[in-house]
Amino acid sequence: MINYSKKVLKHFRNPHNLGKIVNADGVGEVGNMACGDVMKLYVKVADDKITEVKFETYGCAAAIATSSAITDMVKGKSLEEAMAMTEAGVIDSLDGLPPVKIHCSLLAVEALREAIYDYMKREGRKIPKDLEEYHRRISKLGKSS
């Protein structure tokens, strides 16, 4: 049996920002073929800030909790601040994850970055070199971590 922190269980049982944004400004979809988790993250952006963010996740408790947590973490943040989110930050916000579930936090970060990439591409904006490289790497992996 896997032991989850109280925060993980809270996000899993009552996920924040669950659902789809119709006409989202950016959408990021990633998955892990090894475990079967799939995350889709939607963003609305105004004045370079994430004004709304929602997710749809098919996966385990950790996948759902990390999706919920990252949406809380980026709502109201600038795109630059959101792109700086890390796997460690997501894990810390949940008071840790079991080692076997750490990949879920990476999926949450990947989905966020893919949503920002999609937004910038749709808007015809200059995509930062590191985000472009990240997107290429994710695409090469077939949207999996």
pLDDT at position 20 over 60 = yes
pTM: 0.92
Q: Which of 8, 21, 30, 35 is catalytic?
A: 35
Residue 60 annotated among the catalytic residues of the structure: no
What are the structural domain ranges in the chain? 6-140
Is 35 one of the annotated active-site residues of the chain?
A: yes
* Burial readout 70-103 (b: 16 or more C-beta within 10 A, e: otherwise): bbebbbebebeebbebebebbbebbeebeeebbb
CATH fold of 6-140: Sufe protein. Chain: A (3.90.1010)
Residue 95 has pLDDT above 90, yes or no: yes
